[in-house]
Amino acid sequence: MSDNRYRVCVVGLGSMGMGAARSCISAGLTTYGVDLNSAACDALREAGAEAAGPDASAFAGQLDAVLLLVVNAAQCRAVLFGQDGLAPKLRPGTAVMVSATISAADTRAMAAELEPMGLLMLDAPVSGGAAKAALGEMTVMAAGSRAAFDRLRPVLDAIAGRVYEIGAEIGLGATVKIIHQLLAGVHIAAGAEAMALAARAGIPLDTMYEVVTNAAGNSWMFENRMKHVVEGDYTPHSAVDIFVKDLRLVTETALSLNFPLPLASTAYAMFANASNAGFGREDDSAVIKTFAGIELPGQKRS
């Protein structure tokens, strides 16, 4: 490198990745973006990115860090180790921050492949949604070596309101995120069930929403997601299929520990049913659409 600028590439410019990339730009980091969506790449360049496009070949060797905010383990592996993969193009000492929600086993497997290349890995799932990502205030639950934390400190400072250092063992961050997703998925499913019952009972959903969000039954997920139901807007910020994937990880984790999860198992079945009914690409609040015999805002009674 010819200067001392810190260079980071954000791979995956969806709602969370775009917010994280913009936060890196705002923090003064030289920021690159990778996504197959050309409109997202154009938007990031307009926001001040050094470059953005469908691959990182032109600048991979200059990077200090890579932040993966893709959907699943398969996408992580494709980015790093697939045809024209990024990992072999990175300089030794570059840090790879894996922030997708994936299994602990997958994080350990990726770390084992990156280590012989001289690459550092941080197992660092994130939470907070698009709004927190845009503000640089995501919650990061991370595990990895001290060297990985130190190398990624500029990125963590840029994108996170809170960073929880879970431990040195890769996989601990992934496990904490999976447990978190148990709660998130159950809260959305329970919120949908409550609002469906209100609809069946003839309670105006905007009234029910106001009552709950100002009373003890509220949760962050209820307040955020059930607003979409009240507005009849299922534009996907986090899709039903995301929670099919995440709650599958929850149930598989529990099975590996021979541990019963009755609520999470029911929530998984609800999301899987919603996906099977054709709502998989809609906002995850669309899990409410599987309840028959109710009329929802913007939807005719079924």
pLDDT digits (tens, 9 = 90+) for 70-109: 999 999 999 999 998 999 999 999 999 999 999 999 999 9
Identify whether the C-beta of residue 70 lies closer than 8 Å to the C-beta of residue 76.
yes
Compute the average pLDDT of residues 266-295. Answer: 98
Compute the average pLDDT of residues 264-280. Answer: 98
Question: Encoding tokens for residue 255?
Answer: 């099975």
What is the residue-wise DSSP string for 190-230?
HHHHHHHHHHHTT--HHHHHHHHHTSTT--HHHHHHHHHHH
Residues paired with residue 139 on neighbouring β-strands, in sequence order:
127, 162
Q: State the residue for tokens 């905007």.
A: 206
Identity of the residue numbered 194: A
Question: Encoding tokens for residue 216?
Answer: 């003890």
Determine which helix (DSSP H) or strand (DSSP E) holds 162, and give its type and residue range.
Answer: strand 160-167
Give the chain's domains with CATH numbers: 7-168 (3.40.50.720), 175-290 (1.10.1040.10)
Question: Encoding tokens for residue 24?
Answer: 């890196």
Q: Is 177 a catalytic residue?
A: yes
| 116 CB neighbour count, 10 Å cutoff | 7
Marked catalytic residue, from 89, 132, 177, 227: 177
- CA 99 – CA 300 distance, rounded (Å): 39
Identify whether the C-beta of residue 250 lies closer than 8 Å to the C-beta of residue 240.
no
Q: Over 70: is that where the pLDDT of 300 sits?
A: no
Reported pTM: 0.92
Residues paired with residue 97 on neighbouring β-strands, in sequence order:
67, 122
Angle formed by the axes of helices 240-256 and 262-274, nearest 10°: 150
Q: Which residue has the higher pLDDT, 130 or 301?
A: 130
Compute the average pLDDT of residues 129-146. Answer: 95
- CA 285 – CA 298 distance, rounded (Å): 14
Identify whether the C-beta of residue 69 lies closer than 8 Å to the C-beta of residue 10.
yes
The pLDDT tens digits of the residues spanning 49-72 come to 999 999 999 999 999 999 999 999
Q: Over 80: is that where the pLDDT of 1 sits?
A: no
Residue 130's pLDDT band, with cuts at 50, 70 and 90, is confident
Coil, strand or helix at 101: coil
Q: Over 90: is that where the pLDDT of 237 sits?
A: no
| 99 CB neighbour count, 10 Å cutoff | 30
Determine which helix (DSSP H) or strand (DSSP E) holds 231, and give its type and residue range.
Answer: helix 220-231
- Taking the alpha carbons at both ends of the chain, their separation in whole angstroms is 62
Question: Encoding tokens for residue 56?
Answer: 């990182």
